[in-house]
Amino acid sequence: MREPRLLTQTQAAQYCNLSPAQFNAWVRDGRIPGPLPGTHRWDKVALDRDIDKLSGIAPKSEPEDALEAWKRKRDARRAEGTAQNKQKSR
């Protein structure tokens, strides 16, 4: 069976290896997110993301899709062409 993504406050505190009081203090201080709006559940992925930030771990970037790769290459070619044109005009 898959582990649940949403955690109760007690489960979230245990997941973060914090006492319930420490967990509440971290939420109050804004170190980690509060529960999902309208619930009493914490998102494990959001906890991981904010703990990674606290640890200085860079967020995982989304894989670049084909359109974004094309745009990046196009912009690089344009920038290269502009730089060459400026040198020629001098």
For 10, 11, 18, 54, 75, the CA distances from 3, given in Å and listed in that order, are: 15, 12, 19, 24, 43
Q: What pTM does this model have?
A: 0.62
Task: List, in sequence order, every residue forming a beta bridge with 7; answer none if it has no partner.
Answer: 42
Average pLDDT rounded to a whole number, residues 59-68: 74
Q: Evaluate if residue 87 carries a pLDDT over 70.
A: no
Domain boundaries, the chain: 6-55, 64-90
pLDDT in tens, 23-61: 999 999 999 999 999 999 999 999 999 999 999 887 666
Please give the pLDDT value at position 89. 66
Residue predicted with more confidence, 63 or 17? 17
Least Cα distance to 11 among 29, 26, 23, 25 occurs for 23
- Give the tokens for residue 43: 């998102």
